[in-house]
Amino acid sequence: MNDFERQIAGISGNGLHSVKVETLQVNLGLRCNQQCNHCHIEASPQRDEIMEWDVMEMVLKAAKSARCQLVDLTGGAPEINPYFRRFVAALCQEGHPVQVRTNLTVLLEPDMEGMPEFLRKHQVRLVASMPCYLEENVRAQRGPGAYEKSVAAIKMLNGLGYGSDQGLPLNLVYNPGGPFLPPAQSALEEDYRRELGQRFGIVFSHLLTITNMPLGRFRNELDRRGQRETYLQLLRDSFNLRTVSGLMCRNQLSVGWDGTLYDCDFNLALGLPVNHGAPDHIKNFRPGDLMVRRIVTGDHCFGCTAGSGSSCGGALV
Ligand code: SF4
Ligand code: SF4
């Protein structure tokens, strides 16, 4: 039993369990036009893992049988998947609300012509990485030119109504520039609104703050600096009981690019599929078994329960 499991068992007398599958998060592949320092999934232009159409067809069936309220597409850069538009159109045809986690800069790539208009046409909700409103902090995490391109992409999306029209949400995502917890989400949202508004006339719906998980390139960076144990201790010491009921693994499920099922994107990064008797591949998807499955945990889970908590939807409390 890991420390997180022990902590949860001490509270509930049992392991962590899910209660529903409201959101299906689908990883369309690990290829990305960027190679960010903090990427927990270690995506890059060199990765060639891509979800194929036959797996997407199984996801379509699963989303229907689970009556998912949201299909959340992630990657890598999900837009790069060659079947992206076909998949989004099919999901919408079936009546599933779709959300895309975009890194923004991909929208300026040469083969992305018409993508913003396509997203608007299908009323796709957008969650966009923007780790800071200051150029130097974005450059440090995402590389030279990423800030300017991100600003240009947000302005393009704003021009289509994203961030201002009802039905076209554009949420920005902050993550810390190092081994510390995010500041209060609502206060930082005001800072983003003021700074991005004054500098560029940018508007957005909400800011989501996400804690850096000690995985992937961020973990490698911690190791290089000899900070891994200190950071893990910070996450453990910051355990907040009030976050547990809202943990995202309790109401969502992740599908890997090859159809393997995970309790969350972080377990996907670690190669820890769903376990404890629940089906672990989309081809065996059974909503009844997956809704109330026991969740696979590890010490990385303290990243979700630290401080105000963290999830793909931002802070939890
Ligand atoms: S953090 Fe996002 S944008 Fe950066 S390399 Fe990873 S998947 Fe790509
Ligand atoms: S890392 Fe995943 S499994 Fe662990 S608490 Fe967070 S969402 Fe749940």
Give pLDDT tens digits for 139-156.
Answer: 999 999 999 999 999 999
Query: Checking DSSP bridges between strand 252-255 and strand 261-262, what pairing results, if any?
Result: antiparallel
User: Which ligand is nearest to the Cα of residue 17, counting in written order?
Assistant: 2
Q: Does residue 1 have a pLDDT over 90?
A: no
Distance 191 CA to ligand 1 centre (A): 24
Number of neighbouring beta carbons within 10 Å of residue 1: 9
Cα separation, 87 vs 105, whole angstroms: 21
Q: Which of 18, 247, 251, 311 to mutate to test the pocket of ligand 2 (most atoms within 8 A of CB)?
A: 247
Quote the mean pLDDT of the chain: 97
Q: Give the pLDDT of residue 185.
A: 98
69 membership: H or E segment, kind and range: none
User: Which ligand is nearest to the Cα of residue 37, counting in written order?
Assistant: 1
State whether the beta carbon of 103 lies less than 6 angstroms from ligand 1: yes
Backbone angles phi, psi at 283, to 5 degrees: -70, -20
Q: Give the pLDDT of residue 87.
A: 98
The percent of residues in the chain predicted with pLDDT above 70, rounded, is 100
Give pLDDT tens digits for 215-230.
Answer: 999 999 999 999 999 9
Q: Give the pLDDT of residue 79.
A: 98
Backbone angles phi, psi at 81, to 5 degrees: -60, 130
Are the beta carbons of 32 and 43 closer than 8 angstroms?
yes
Cα separation, 174 vs 183, whole angstroms: 10
Count CA atoms closer than 13 A to 284's CA, side-chain side: 10
Q: Does residue 171 have a pLDDT over 90?
A: yes
Structure confidence at residue 181 as a pLDDT band (50, 70, 90)? very high
Give pLDDT tens digits for 7-56.
Answer: 998 888 888 999 999 999 999 999 999 999 999 999 999 999 999 999 99
First-to-last alpha carbon distance for the chain, in angstroms, is 27
Average pLDDT over residues 110-127: 97
Average pLDDT over residues 98-109: 98
User: Collapsing DSSP states into helix, strand and coil, what is residue 254?
Assistant: strand
Q: Give the pLDDT of residue 11.
A: 86
State whether the beta carbon of 42 lies less than 6 angstroms from ligand 2: no
State whether the beta carbon of 34 lies less than 6 angstroms from ligand 1: yes
State whether the beta carbon of 248 lies less than 6 angstroms from ligand 2: yes
Structure confidence at residue 106 as a pLDDT band (50, 70, 90)? very high
Give pLDDT tens digits for 255-287.
Answer: 999 999 999 999 999 999 999 899 999 999 999
State whether the beta carbon of 304 lies less than 6 angstroms from ligand 2: yes
User: Which ligand is nearest to the Cα of residue 34, counting in written order?
Assistant: 1
Cα separation, 115 vs 119, whole angstroms: 6
Number of neighbouring beta carbons within 10 Å of residue 264: 26
Distance 262 CA to ligand 2 centre (A): 10
Q: Give the pLDDT of residue 238.
A: 98
